[in-house]
Structure formats: C-alpha cells, structure tokens
C-alpha cells in the first residue's frame, strides 16, 4: 500500500479565468482544507476534518496553517543556459544577445558545466515555487541531456528543447539544418515521456534559423504533432526589421512562422509584443500562445505587452506568463506578475490579483494544454503544490494588519513576495524546498 500524505491549510485552486476582481466563482477556496496525496497525485480535497476522517489511519499530516496551499507555479518561458547572464548591462535585445548571451551559452558544449548549472537551475525553480517550466537549452545536445537528466532526478514535470540555430551567431553556437534535426530527434527519443519530461521543438527565432533550418523545424513539427513548439516573436523593433528582411516573402514576422507550419495550439511564442491586428488574428485562429515576459520586456526596454487587449478581442489571443530568465530579472513568478501588473498600469489597463494567480497556475497549464495534469488541486492531478506565506517578511506582516480579504492577500503576495514567501514546494507529493 502506498503511503498517504495530508496537507492542512487554506486551499486555493482556480476553476476558470476570473472575469473581474469580484469573480469569486472562478476559484474554489477551503479555509480549513485538507489535500490528500497518494502515489504522487492528489487523491482528495475538501474540509480537513472530512478528508482526515476518510484517510488511512497512518496518514502523515503536515499542518501549513495559516498559509495558502495552491497548485505549483508554472513558468512558460525561460532559458536554462542564461543563469549567469541575468543582470547584464545592455541597451536592447540584439546588443544583449550578441554581447553576453551568445558568449555565455557557448559554455554549455561542456557536459560538466551544463550538469553543474542544471543543479542550480532546478534548485532555483523549487526555491521559487515553480514546479513546471518550459526552458530553452543551448544549441548543444549536451545541454538538453543535462537539463532532462536533472528533471528526471527531481521527478519534475519539465518541458524543454535543444535550441535550433544555424546562422547570425558565433560558430560554436550554431548547428546545421541536418544536425539540428538529428539532435532534436535524438533528444526526443532519449527524453520525451521519460519520467515527467516533455521535449519541445525549439527554433530560437527567425534571425538565427535559415530557411533550410525552418524546413527542418517544419518536418519535426509534422512528425511530432503532440510536441510543443517554442520560438520568439516580435520582441524588439530592430529584431522585427531584421527578421522581415531575412524572409522578404513573408507578409510580417508572424507570417514567417506560419509559412513553415509552426503555428498551432501547442506553439509558445515568447514576447509577441509588437503585433498588428492581422497578426493577432492569426495567433487567435491558430491557437498559438503569446507568452508574456514582463521583467524581461522592462529590463531590455522591449515594449509593453497588450495583455488586456489580447484577452478582450473578438478573436482573443491565448496568453501565458513567464520569467524569461536571463533576459528577465527574477526567477519569481510572484515578482513576474508584479511587473505584469505595472506593464498594464502603463497601458492604462488593470491586471487584477485573481488574474495573476490564475495565470501562474491554471492559466499557464491551459496554455500548455496540460490542465488535466497540473495547474489545479483537482483529484487525479499531479501533486505539484506550493505553500504561500503572506507573513514572510516583517513588512508583509505589517501590511497584512490592514488586509481583509483573499484578493488583497494575493495582491500583497505578488507585490512584496518573492522566494521568501514560498514556505514549501511539493514535487509529486514530496516536500522539496525544505530539503534544499
């Protein structure tokens, strides 16, 4: 018989996207809740007394009161080989890529280096309550092997891919159309579906992929329709100009990817800031997801993502949220949504705290098509869980004195919280943060 674990605390899990800040129907909340975990999955959820009464007599109870217990946070876009790029001083995206990023990523040809950084990377995910992330590895197959080997060791549901890039970058950081196809396929064969891993087809962006390589990405996408695809789109105006000049036959940047069959429901388009109405329509029609990276967009001065406009269109654009380490400046999804809020403030729009916590959990799970597995506390889901402490710092405790409802508490967690507010992270039912 597998042993059971029972978490006690205030349980919060979204059931759909909130319509506004008073939309209390968009989530389920249990003030003195019990979350029963068995075999790495959520077995039951409800009032603590009821769940306890029906649990095994020898169930292990962990009391997290007064903290909030939520589904683990999800980060839909970041770069595993960029931990040592965070905080690099650059005027814009292309300078940042060429001066720092394309230099740093070359180190991931070395398996030992990749393995060392992978340990730190997964530690940082767990420290920040992120239980699933979608990462770009480097161009080197070794980096993807290191990433997935560590994911398997931690038993985490992680997505990632070997980056395909064959031009406009230093020689040691390029592959060829054929080797990018072969290496991606080898990574898929080694890792996709192994443990909880998902391999992602990852052409970096139009500037670093030749038309021949884009054909290879198309071939992989056709061969593996169930695999996610990730790339970057319309982050920076100079980038857009260069991409469109390299693909003159395309009507616009989005059309480059459309022409190679790369836009579909499991496509994740990093940034997607500067899009015409026509391009937004194409994203909506194909179901491709615009992945918002607010700390990165502010740090690199890339632009202000039209979050609320994308949501409110007659043809809405699907959205995910992410840190974009190392263009991004924080590993924390709380800090990420704090910055997402400020980006909307600058656009004269509101992103309310229910929105934020929906997007970090169920919203990102839906964007990944994984809502039946992660992103909620529903029975049957993976028991990837985060415990949030709104009393994490003296300043937070003081501010809490004047807070009277759940959305205010969530807003405080987002505004003043960071990794200190993550009291525990459970991976497939096992505590992970307290063991770091």
CA-CA distance, 203 to 218, in Å (whole number)? 10
Q: Give me the residue label for tokens 């071939």.
A: 219
C-beta of 103 vs 400, nearer to ligand GUN: 103
Residue 256 beta carbon to Zn ion: minimum distance, rounded to whole angstroms: 17
C-beta of 6 vs 97, nearer to ligand GUN: 97
Cβ-count burial of 383 within 10 angstroms (0-12 exposed, 13-18 middle, 19+ buried)?
A: buried
Site for Zn ion in 286-325 (CB under 5 A): 324
371: left (phi over 0), alpha (psi -120 to 50) or beta: alpha
**x/- contact string, 28-57, with ligand GUN (CB under 6 A)?**
------------------------------
**x/- contact string, 285-324, with ligand GUN (CB under 6 A)?**
-----------x---------------------------x
Residue 205 beta carbon to Zn ion: minimum distance, rounded to whole angstroms: 9
- Quote the DSSP letter at residue 162: P
**x/- contact string, 66-85, with ligand GUN (CB under 6 A)?**
-------------x------
C-beta of 71 vs 270, nearer to Zn ion: 270
Measured from each CB, the residue nearest to ligand GUN is 327
Does 366 engage in binding with ligand GUN (CB under 6 A)?
no
**x/- contact string, 145-184, with ligand GUN (CB under 6 A)?**
----------------------------------------
Compute φ and ψ for 106, nearest 5 degrees: -60, -25
**x/- contact string, 139-178, with Zn ion (CB under 5 A)?**
----------------------------------------
Q: Which of Zn ion, ligand GUN, none does residue 433 bind to, with CB < 5 to 8 Å depending on kind?
A: none
Residue 239 beta carbon to ligand GUN: minimum distance, rounded to whole angstroms: 7
Residue 105 beta carbon to Zn ion: minimum distance, rounded to whole angstroms: 12
Cβ-count burial of 133 within 10 angstroms (0-12 exposed, 13-18 middle, 19+ buried)?
A: buried
Q: Which of ligand GUN, Zn ion, none does residue 5 bind to, with CB < 5 to 8 Å depending on kind?
A: none
- Parallel, antiparallel, or unpaired for β 385-388 and 422-427? antiparallel
CA-CA distance, 87 to 84, in Å (whole number)? 8
> DSSP string spanning 10-68?
EEEEESS--SSTT-GGGEEEEEEEEEEEETTEEEEEEEHHHHHHHS-TTPEEEEEEEEE
3-state secondary structure (DSSP) of residue 410: helix
Q: Which of ligand GUN, Zn ion, none does residue 133 bind to, with CB < 5 to 8 Å depending on kind?
A: none
With CA atoms as reference, report the closest residue to 321 among 67, 23, 73.
73
**x/- contact string, 230-249, with ligand GUN (CB under 6 A)?**
--x--x--------------
Does 433 engage in binding with ligand GUN (CB under 6 A)?
no
C-beta of 150 vs 324, nearer to Zn ion: 324
Among 14, 100, 191, 205, binds ligand GUN (CB under 6 A): 205
Selected range binding ligand GUN among 23-31, 93-101, 119-127, 380-388, rule: CB under 6 A: 93-101
Residue 104 beta carbon to ligand GUN: minimum distance, rounded to whole angstroms: 10
Does 270 engage in binding with Zn ion (CB under 5 A)?
yes
**Encoded tokens for 307:** 């979050």
Please list the residues that pair with 232 across neighbouring strands.
270
CA-CA distance, 378 to 372, in Å (whole number)? 9
CA-CA distance, 433 to 381, in Å (whole number)? 20
Q: Which of ligand GUN, Zn ion, none does residue 205 bind to, with CB < 5 to 8 Å depending on kind?
A: ligand GUN
C-alpha pair distances (Å), 288 with each of 79, 135, 178, 270 = 20, 17, 26, 11
> DSSP string spanning 90-156?
-SSHHHHIIIIIHHHGGGGGSHHHHHHHHHHHHHHHHHTTEEEEEEE--SSHHHHHHHHHHHHHHT-
With CA atoms as reference, report the closest residue to 65 among 432, 424, 430.
424
CA 307 from centroid of its chain's CA atoms: 16
Residues that bind ligand GUN (CB under 6 A): 79, 93, 97, 101, 204-205, 232, 235, 296, 324, 327
Residues that bind Zn ion (CB under 5 A): 270, 324
């Amino acid at each position: 018989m597998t042993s059971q674990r029972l978490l006690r605390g205030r349980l919060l899990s979204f059931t759909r996207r909130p319509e506004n800040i008073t939309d209390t129907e968009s989530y389920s909340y249990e003030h003195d809740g019990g979350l029963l975990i068995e075999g790495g999955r959520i077995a039951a959820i409800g009032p603590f007394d009821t769940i306890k009464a029906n649990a095994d007599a020898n169930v292990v109870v962990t009391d997290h009161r007064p903290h909030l217990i939520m589904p683990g946070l999800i980060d839909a876009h970041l770069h595993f080989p960029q931990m040592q790029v965070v905080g690099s001083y650059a005027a814009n995206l292309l300078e940042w890529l060429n001066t720092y990023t394309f230099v740093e990523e070359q180190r991931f040809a070395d398996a030992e280096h990749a393995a060392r950084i992978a340990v730190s990377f997964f530690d940082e995910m767990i420290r920040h309550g992120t239980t699933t992330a979608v990462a770009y590895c480097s161009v080197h197959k070794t980096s993807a092997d290191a990433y997935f080997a560590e994911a398997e060791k931690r038993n985490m549901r992680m997505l990632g891919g070997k980056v395909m890039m064959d031009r406009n970058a230093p020689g040691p950081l390029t592959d060829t159309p054929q080797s990018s196809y072969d290496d991606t396929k080898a990574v898929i064969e080694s890792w996709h579906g192994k443990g909880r891993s998902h391999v992602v087809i990852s052409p970096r962006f139009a500037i670093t992929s030749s038309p021949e390589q884009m054909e290879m990405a198309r071939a992989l996408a056709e061969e593996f329709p169930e695999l996610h695809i990730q790339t970057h789109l319309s982050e920076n105006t100079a980038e857009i100009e260069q991409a469109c000049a390299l693909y003159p036959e395309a009507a616009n940047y989005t059309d480059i990817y459309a022409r190679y069959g790369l836009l579909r429901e499991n496509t994740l388009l990093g940034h997607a800031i500067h899009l015409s109405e026509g391009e937004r329509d194409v994203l909506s029609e194909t179901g491709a997801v615009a992945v918002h990276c607010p700390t990165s967009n502010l740090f690199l001065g890339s632009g202000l993502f039209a979050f609320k406009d994308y949501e409110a269109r007659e043809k809405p654009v699907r959205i995910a949220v992410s840190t974009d380490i190392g263009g991004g400046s924080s590993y924390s999804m709380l800090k990420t949504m704090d910055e997402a809020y400020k980006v909307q403030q600058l656009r004269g729009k509101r992103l309310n705290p229910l929105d934020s916590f929906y997007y970090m959990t169920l919203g990102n799970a839906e964007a990944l098509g994984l809502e039946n597995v992660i992103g909620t506390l529903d029975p049957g889901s993976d028991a990837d869980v985060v415990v949030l402490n709104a009393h994490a710092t003296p300043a937070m405790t003081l501010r809490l004195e004047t807070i009277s409802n759940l959305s205010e508490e969530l807003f405080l967690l987002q505004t003043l919280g960071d990794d200190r507010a993550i009291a525990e992270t459970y991976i497939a039912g096992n505590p992970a943060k307290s063991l770091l």
